[in-house]
Amino acid sequence: MKQNVSIIGAILGAALASCAAQAHQADDPLTRPIAPDYAQRWLTPLPPAHVHGNTYFVGFAGLGVALIRTSDGLILLDGAVPQAVRDVEANIRRLGFRVEDIRYILTTEPHWDHVGGVAALARDSGAIVVAGAPAAEVFRTGRVGSDDPQSAHLTPFPAVANVRAMADGEMLRLGDTTVTARATPGHTAGSMSWSWRSCEGARCLDVVFGASLNAVSADGYRFSDPAHRTVVESFRSSFAAMRALPCDILITSHPDQFGLDARYRRFQAGEQPNPLIDPNACRAYADRAEQRLDARLATEAGQAASPGS
């Protein structure tokens, strides 16, 4: 009888502990959902996968999150939205890695859809968060500045007080891997892409994790406004920088905006040759983004020329 009581007590204790853990997780301020109905469009699941060499994909059809395995720990790129943190961590574990082994979290842009989950991921792993210098300032408050084309409608995200700022061309080394910061401003002033070498046997490929190059804004913002000339110039320089990068594999911060989600599904189906390997990908990505910017500028010019505008 005493043994049965002990067993029942153990079961009840485990159940209560589980409920407490779930309640704590539900109340976690760092994973509280941001715009859940809107964000759901980006969170179509994709199975985590080994892309090539030291490179893995652990994100979603609409939000790119990548992982680099080094000889001295892991590097995570971007953190998706807060409500996706548990899914990102589960994807990492499904590949056989430990969240606690993440040493750095590299970020593309300080918008809630890409870095809303970074504070929780940094807390859970103990990793150092890295960003471009203008983005590092945004991280410390969780609020974008007025110079961001989307500032009027962007939602704040959980702040990260301690962020390491990196400049264009600066290199981060961890174990046997070197990742290079590639400034690609325009979408935000602090947008940063990242590149590294990924070897599988004797075959080494250049991988780029590309920040968004999309010229989008809040209502009422005009890229053609003379006050925003530097933003347009930043986009132009970023297009040129992206085209010039050594680039065999491109992973974008929004995979569905470049068709990477479709390529990824073909890759998962075992298509050969590997559809993720495309030496023209970065050039095509920049070309498409520049076409969108030119179309936006043409539309604004047409609106300005319209009678009564």
Measured between its terminal Cα atoms, the distance across the chain in Å is 86
218 touches 199 (CB < 8 A)? no
User: Mean pLDDT across the stretch 263-284?
Assistant: 95
Average pLDDT estimate for 271-285:
96
**CA 302 to chain CA mean position, Å:** 34
Mean predicted confidence (pLDDT) in 297-302: 94
Rounded Cα–Cα distance for residues 127 and 107 (Å): 12
State both tokens at 199. Answer: 């070897």
What is the spatial distance between Cα 203 and Cα 205, in angstroms, rounded to a whole number?
A: 7
Q: DSSP letter for 206, please.
A: E
Q: Which domains does the chain have, with CATH numbers?
A: 30-303 (3.60.15.10)
Please state the pTM of the whole predicted model: 0.90
- The amino acid occupying position 144 is V
Each residue of 117-134: pLDDT tens digit? Answer: 999 999 999 999 999 999
Report the mean per-residue pLDDT for the chain.
Answer: 91
37-51 confidence digits (pLDDT tens): 999 999 999 999 999
Residue of 216, 175, 205 whose CA lies nearest to 299: 216
**CA nearest 296: which of 224, 242, 237?**
224
Q: pLDDT tens digits for 199-231?
A: 999 999 999 999 999 999 999 999 999 999 999
Amino acid at 130: V
pLDDT band, residue 27 (cuts 50/70/90): confident
pLDDT exceeding 90 applies to what percent of the chain?
86
Mean pLDDT of 166-186: 98
Say what the pLDDT of residue 122 is. 98
d(CA 48, CA 26): 25
DSSP letter (8 states) at residue 192: E
Q: Using 50, 70 and 90 to split pLDDT, how confident is the model at 303?
A: confident
Query: Of 289, 304, 275, which is closest to residue 210 (Cα–Cα)?
Result: 289
- Given a cut of 70, whether residue 307 has pLDDT beyond it is no
- Residue 25 in this model has a pLDDT that exceeds 90: no
Range in 13-17, 73-77, 125-129, 292-296 with the lowest mean pLDDT: 13-17
Structural contact between residues 33 and 81, judged by C-beta atoms closer than 8 angstroms: yes
Average pLDDT estimate for 6-25: 44
Predicted local confidence at residue 309, as pLDDT = 43
With both helix axes pointing from N to C terminus, report the angle between 281-305 and 229-244 in degrees, rounded to the nearest 10: 160
Residues 42-67, mean pLDDT to the nearest whole number = 97
Query: For residue 188, is pLDDT > 70?
Result: yes
pLDDT of residue 64: 98
- Is it the case that residue 156 has pLDDT exceeding 70? yes
Does the pLDDT value for residue 26 go beyond 70? no
As given in the structure block, the two tokens for residue 176 are 């046997």
